[in-house]
Amino acid sequence: MKINISKNIADMLLDIKAVTFSFTKPYLYTFISGIKGPMYCDNRRLISYPNKRRVVVDEVVKIAKKLNFDIVGGVSTAGIPWAALVAERLNKPMIYIRPEPKGYGKKRQIEGDIQKGSKVLVIEDLISTGSSAISAIKAVRRNGGKVNDCVFIFTYDLDVAKKNFMRTKCKMHPLLTFSNLIAVAEKRSYISEEEKNELVKWHKDPRKYWKSI
């Protein structure tokens, strides 16, 4: 991940106020993983801005071209638009993966066609613990596919996510990390030095931080 690319993505998210902070305790955001934190990064907003959206797709495509895969797989729901845009750009087949099988119809968990042995590049928008992406990866593997790589826009870069991906034997490819984002936010006076230090404190141990306030 190049620093200038990371800064560019951070600037775009801050420009549209997709990153918000809450330092007034105990008003912290709750992530889908159950972790609570003093910031929230809403990458979904990027799809409404064609120029910014194009930058993200360009960068994902650059990474994808260096990888070996047959199908682009989007993690439902936030990874789906990015997977569709990337698959179209690369003229690749696409699938998307639900958190669990549907309770009706054919009760599929994976939508689209996947053949046994197909290599799938999984795309997600954000990683906290990585549970949603890893659930999707395991679903692809249960259905006969292979997954070696996962690309995502932003990661909180928590140790738990790194360990989870390592156990799953899948390589992580982020466009932007937590440390890069808050460095840009501080430089732009989006947050103060004191607030940055509070974020760093949270990042070291999110669960301990939550219990201490």
E strand or H helix at 11: helix 3-15
d(CA 131, CA 110): 17
User: Residue 183: phi, psi to the nearest 5?
Assistant: -65, -45
Which residues form the domain of 86?
3-212
Q: Global pTM? A: 0.94
Please list the ranges in the chain whose pLDDT falls under 70.
1-3, 25-27, 102-105, 213
Instruction: With beta carbons less than 8 A apart as the criterion, state whether 143 and 114 touch.
Output: yes
**Domain holding 80: CATH number?**
3.40.50.2020
pLDDT of residue 27: 59
How many domains, in total, are found in the chain? 1
The tens digit of pLDDT for each residue in 13-68 reads 999 999 999 987 665 788 888 888 899 999 999 999 999 999 999 999 999 999 99
Instruction: With beta carbons less than 8 A apart as the criterion, state whether 153 and 174 touch.
Output: yes
